[in-house]
Structures are given as structure tokens and as C-alpha cells.
């Protein structure tokens, strides 16, 4: 099993920083050109968090992993 703690940490980091940048961009008085740039940066952070969340859902397949059949036998108890 692969440790996903780094992926979760990056997802939270990008999500929180993206939201903080968007909130500050729209609450802080600034020129329109700066607001457009900060909105783009904040939206990029939220987008990266979304991509990380989607990547955490699906397990990674290893290149050396093979599929094999498994035989199971059940013994009867008396």
C-alpha cells in the first residue's frame, strides 16, 4: 500500500492557500489587473487541490505488478 499522506498534505495546502488568495483578492482594494492575476493564482491552487483529490481516489498501478489467479479451498467442519 502506498502512503498517501504527502498527497493529502499537498491537497490541503493548495486548497487552503487557493481559497485564502481568492478571498483576499476580492476583499482587499486593488487595481483590476492585480485582481485578475491573484484570482488566476487562487483558482490554480483550487484546481491543483481538485486534481490531487481525484488522483488520490484511484490507486496507482505499478509497472512490475502482474495479475494472477488465486485458488481458494474451503475445508468443511464437522
Distances (CA, A) of 24 to 11, 18, 35, 45, 47: 20, 10, 9, 14, 18
Q: In the chain, where does DSSP find H-type helix?
A: 5-27, 32-57
Per-residue pLDDT of 3-33, as tens digits, reads 778 888 988 999 999 999 999 999 989 999 9
| pTM as predicted | 0.65
Residue 77 — pLDDT band, cuts 50, 70, 90?
confident
Per-residue pLDDT of 37-74, as tens digits, reads 999 999 999 998 999 888 888 766 665 667 778 888 88
Element (H, E) at 67: none
Are 55 and 7 in contact by the 8 Å Cβ rule? The answer is yes
Amino acid at each position: 500500500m502506498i502512503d498517501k499522506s504527502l498527497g493529502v498534505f499537498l491537497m490541503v495546502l493548495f486548497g487552503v492557500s487557493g481559497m485564502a488568495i481568492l478571498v483576499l483578492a476580492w476583499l482587499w482594494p486593488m487595481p483590476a489587473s492585480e485582481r485578475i492575476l491573484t484570482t488566476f493564482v487562487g483558482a490554480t491552487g483550487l484546481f491543483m487541490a481538485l486534481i490531487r483529490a481525484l488522483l488520490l481516489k484511484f490507486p496507482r498501478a505499478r509497472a512490475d505488478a502482474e495479475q494472477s489467479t488465486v485458488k481458494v479451498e474451503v475445508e468443511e467442519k464437522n
